[in-house]
Amino acid sequence: MSKRQILAEKLRKRRERKERMKKFRAIKKARRAAREAAAAKLAALNPAKPVLSATRPIATTLRAGTTPPVAPQPAALKSAAAPTPGEIDKLKQRAIDALERDVADLSRLSAPTGEQSGEIERIRKEVDELKREFYIHLGAWQRLLLARHPQRPYTDDYIRLLFENFSEIHGDRNFADDPALITGMAKFHGQPVMIVGSQKGRDTKQRLARNFGQAKPEGYRKALRAIHLAAKFGRPVIVFVDTPGAYPGVDAEERGQAEAIAHNLREMSRLPVPIVITITGEGGSGGALAIAVGDRVYMLENSVYSVISPEGCASIMWRDSTKAEIAAEALKITAPDLLEMKLIDEIVPEPDGGAHNDPEAAAKMLDPFLTRALGELSHLSARQIVDQRYEKFRRMGQFFA
Write the CA distances from 122 to 107, 125, 127, integer angstroms. 12, 5, 9
C-alpha to C-alpha distance for 159 and 183, rounded to whole angstroms = 11
| DSSP secondary structure string for all residues of 68-123 | PPPPPPPHHHHHTPPPPHHHHHHHHHHHHHHHHHHHHHHHTSSS--HHHHHHHHHH
Conformation bin of residue 165: beta by default, left when phi > 0, alpha when psi is -120 to 50: left
The SS3 assignment for 276 reads strand
Contacts of 87 (CB under 8 A, 6+ apart): 45
∠ CA 194-195-198, nearest 5°, is: 155
φ and ψ of 198, to 5 deg:
-75, 150
DSSP three-state, residue 234: coil
pTM: 0.71
- What are the residues whose beta carbons fall under 8 Å from the beta carbon of 256, sequence distance 6 or more? 217
φ/ψ (deg, to 5) at 149: -60, 130
Report CA 337 to chain centroid distance, whole Å.
14
* pLDDT less than 50: residues of the chain: 48-71, 74-80
For residue 196, report the phi and psi dihedrals to the nearest 5 degrees: -130, 130
Residue 231's pLDDT is 94
Cα separation, 371 vs 351, in Å, equals 19
Burial of 59 (0-12, 13-18, 19+ CB in 10 A): exposed
pLDDT in tens, 31-86: 777 677 666 666 665 554 443 443 444 344 444 444 444 445 544 444 445 555 55
Rounded Cα gap, residues 353 and 378, in angstroms: 34
| CA–CA dist 207, 209 (Å, integer) | 5
User: Which of 302, 305, 241 is CA-nearest to residue 277?
Assistant: 241
Spatial contact of 231 and 272, defined as CB atoms under 8 Å apart: yes
Give the span between the Cα atoms of 139 and 76, in whole angstroms: 28
For residue 393, CA distances in Å to 136, 239, 265, 270, 396 come to 29, 17, 11, 12, 5
User: What's the pLDDT score for residue 48?
Assistant: 45
Helix (H, G, I), strand (E, B) or coil at 237: strand
User: What length does the chain have?
Assistant: 401
Instruction: Quick: pLDDT tens for 151-192.
Output: 999 999 999 999 999 999 999 898 999 999 999 999 999 999
Q: In 3D, which of 264, 304, 306, 299 has the Cα closest to residue 278?
A: 299
- What residue type is assigned to position 152 of the chain? R
Q: Are 86 and 142 in contact (CB under 8 A)?
A: yes
Contact predicate 243/284, CB 8 Å = yes
